[in-house]
Structure 1
C-alpha cells in the first residue's frame, strides 16, 4: 500500500516536471510558425484619396514550410543574444552574406527603455532585417519555380498535378487569370530591405509604438474587421478602422509585402520594380521606388520625403544586397 502511494506521488512529480518544462519552453525555446494557404478578403466600407496599406486581403497566410522563431523578452537579453552570434550591422554591410537566420517573433517589451538611441536603432534593425530577408528569400524561391513552370507551359510540357495546384493557388492569391505568368511575376516579387526598414521605422517609431509592442504591428496596416487589431487612441468619431495585430512579427512583414504586391494603389510601384528587374542586374533602387508610395499614408508626398529621409539618414541602402550566412 505504501509503495502504491509512493508510486502515485512519483507520477504526480513527473507530470509536474513535464508541465513545467513545457511552460518554460514557451518563453525560452524557439517556437514553430505554421503557414497555410488561406486567404480571407477584406471589404472596404469607405472611400478616400488615402489607401490603407491593409486594404485588400485582410488576413492571409502563405504556404511555406515551418520556420523557427525566437522570443527573447528583454532588450538586454536580446542584445546579448545578437552579440553571442556575432550579429553586427557594420560587418553585415561589409561582408554582405553574414546575416544570421534568427527570427524574433515579438519585440522586447522594454525596447522603448533602451537609453542609447544608436543601440535602440541597431537593435530594431537587427530584429526586422532577418524577417525581411526571410520573406524575400521565399519569394525569390517561388519566382524561380514560377519561371520553370512558365517554361514548361511554353514548350507544351504537362505540369504535374502538384505543380498545377500550387500555380493556380498563386494566381488566385493575386486575383489573376490562370496562366497569367506576366501578371504573377509582376506582383510576386521582393521588396528592397532599405525601403521596408524605413517604412517599419516610421510606422512603429523604431518599435516603440503601442501597436508595435502590443500587436506586432510595425507597418501601420489597417483592418476594418472589428477585434482583429488595436483601436487608435485618436480615431475620429464614426471611423471603424483598427491597426491590425499579428501573432508574430514575421506575419506583419509578409502582410506588408503582400499589400504592396497586391493592391491597385501600388501598381506604379510594381511596374517600376519590373522595369528595374528587366533593365538592370543591380539592386532595386529604393529611393526611386519610394516615389511611388504616396498612397501609403495620408501625408502623401510628405510621407515619401520622410521615407527617403529615413533611408538616407540611417544609411539603410547598405542592407539592400545583404544575404543570410550559411551558418548560424
Structure 2
C-alpha cells in the first residue's frame, strides 16, 4: 500500500473516532434552560440560538468529515483504478448508516455516488429555524423534558414518549434524547436518509454541482413532508430564516 493510501486509511480511522458519541452513558440527561423565563423576546431568541447552535455545528462538522473521506476515496480510486479493502468497508458502513436503498445490488461506485448526495451538511440557519419552530423556541414539553427540538418521531417500543393526544392504535412515539446533540444528530440523519426528503437532497446536490450556495432558503422547499401543513410550513420556515437573520451558506 502506498503512502497516500496509508494516509487515507489513517484519515478514515480519525473520521470513525470523531463520529463516536463520547457522551458518558452514565451521565444524567442534559438540562434545558427555561426559555419561557425570558421577558424580552430578542433575549430569548438569542439564548435559544446560543444553546442549540453548538450541537448543530459539531454534528455538521462530523458529517463534513465523512463527506471529505468519501471524496478522498473517490479521488484515490481515480488514481489507483480500484478501491482498497478498507475503502470498501468505509463505503459499506456509511451506506448502511445513511440507508442507501438496494445497496447490496449496487456496485461500490454506484453506492459512493449515492452517498455523496446524502452525506452532506444541512445549513445551520435551516436547522435553527426548524428547531425554533418545532419546539416553540425551546418551551415545548418535548424540548424541555426530552431534548427533542425537532418534533422527531420514533417507532420502536420505549424509544420515546407517546403524545397525550395520540389514539390507542397509534404506534409512533415522540423521540427522547439524553442530550440536545443526540437529537440534532438524529434530525440531520433523518434529512440525509429518509425518502421523504429526497427532493431536499437532490436540490442540495444540484447546487453543489453548479457551484452555487447551499442555503437554508434554497433547501426549505424540500421540507414539504416534514409537516402536515405542507407548503404553509415551508413558507413559515423560510420566513423564520429571513426574519431572524439566519441565512448562511453550507460550505
Report the TM range for the smaller structure's normalisation: 0.7 to 0.9
- 8 Å CA contact 1:105–1:250 kept in 2: the answer is no
1:64 aligns with 2:8: no
Q: What pairs with 1:29-48 in structure 2 (closer than 5 Å)?
A: none
Distance 1:294-1:322 versus aligned 2 partners, 3 A rule? closer
Aligned residues: 226
Offset, 1:163: 3.6
Q: What pairs with 1:1-328 in structure 2 (closer than 5 Å)?
A: 64-65=19-20, 105-108=30-33, 110-156=34-80, 159-176=83-100, 177=103, 178-179=108-109, 180-281=111-212, 283-317=213-247, 320-321=248-249
TM-score with structure 2 setting the length: 0.81
- 8 Å CA contact 2:98–2:189 kept in 1: the answer is no
Distance 1:236-1:65 versus aligned 2 partners, 3 A rule? closer
More helix by share: 2
TM-score with structure 1 setting the length: 0.63
Offset, 1:167: 2.4
- 8 Å CA contact 2:45–2:137 kept in 1: the answer is yes
- 8 Å CA contact 2:204–2:214 kept in 1: the answer is yes
Distance 1:157-1:65 versus aligned 2 partners, 3 A rule? farther
Distance 2:186 2:99 in 1: 16
Distance 1:175 1:239 in 2: 25
Q: Deviations over 1:115-155 (max 9, x none)?
A: 22211111110011111111111111211111111122233
Offset, 1:231: 1.9
Offset, 1:256: 0.6
Gaps of 5+ in 1: 1-36, 38-61, 74-103, 324-328
Q: Which residue number corresponds to residue 4 of structure 2?
A: none
- 8 Å CA contact 2:147–2:177 kept in 1: the answer is yes
Q: Deviations over 1:162-194 (max 9, x none)?
A: 443222201222333344221000011110111
Secondary structure, in 3 states, of the residue corresponding to 1:292?
helix
Offset, 1:65: 4.5
Secondary structure, in 3 states, of the residue corresponding to 1:316?
coil
Distance 1:125 1:308 in 2: 17
- 8 Å CA contact 2:18–2:62 kept in 1: the answer is no
* Range moving further from structure 2, 190-199 or 134-143: 134-143
